[in-house]
Amino acid sequence: MAKIIGVTGGIGSGKTTLVRYFESLGIPVFIADDEAKKVTQLPEVLDQIKSVFGDIVFENKQLNRQKLAAIVFTDAEKLDQLNRIIHPAVRSQFQLWLDQYQSAPFVIYEAAILFESGSYTICDYTITITAPLVDRINRVILRDNCTREQVLQRISAQWTDEERIAKSDFVVENADTETAKQQIDHILKILYN
């Protein structure tokens, strides 16, 4: 049975880049945030979102993610309500996905809010990716074409690195990708032995 390695980190820490490295090593990767976008297209999930947030987050009968984000990243209670809709659906999809990789030694479950969502409880090991705050801000501004204030607002809605590190088995400092990859190689060496 495959061991599940949970990978997490704050927005802009470089999680996606580093899980792609795991993937290049032949380790199957499940990206919870990508799956969350897919499950929000399911009629039953859309119905739940509409019942909690109303028509304001819909435009031409389509979910407007930016409007939803503007609400949940300024209201912790609304974020929690959204998470209670999305995370069970994502976890169900993960279980279906995992069935395909039972013979792999390891699989990666990447989630920005691995600990906050309780998803860490399905993991055998956890890795937190960290990066200097200025790097994180700059990465997100470039990636999402948003303002520094919007990035800081999202960061403040997530756990701190210290909170994640306290619950993690391993930490990878991603100030530069090559050094971070070496740290991953070291972690895998430990896990394979």
Q: DSSP letters of 37-58? A: HHHTTSHHHHHHHHHHH-GGGE
Q: Of all residues in the chain, what percent carry a pLDDT higher than 90?
A: 81
Let me know: does 180 contact 129? Beta carbons within 8 Å: yes
Residue 181 marked in a binding site:
no
Q: Closest Cα partner for 3 from 114, 108, 95?
A: 108
What distance in Å separates the CA atoms of residue 125 and residue 167, rounded to the nearest whole number? 10
* Tens-digit pLDDT profile for residues 12-21: 999 999 999 9
Residue 40 marked in a binding site:
no
Residue 37 marked in a binding site:
no
Q: Into which CATH architecture does domain 3-192 fall?
A: 3-Layer(aba) Sandwich (3.40)
* Tens-digit pLDDT profile for residues 138-192: 999 999 998 999 999 889 888 999 999 999 999 999 999 999 999 999 999 999 9
Residue-averaged pLDDT of the chain: 94
Residue 61 marked in a binding site:
no
Residue 147 marked in a binding site:
no
Let me know: does 49 contact 85? Beta carbons within 8 Å: yes
Residue 10 marked in a binding site:
no
Domain ranges of the chain: 3-192
Beta-bridge mates of residue 9? 129
pLDDT band at residue 1 under the 50/70/90 scheme? confident
pLDDT beyond 90 at 61: no
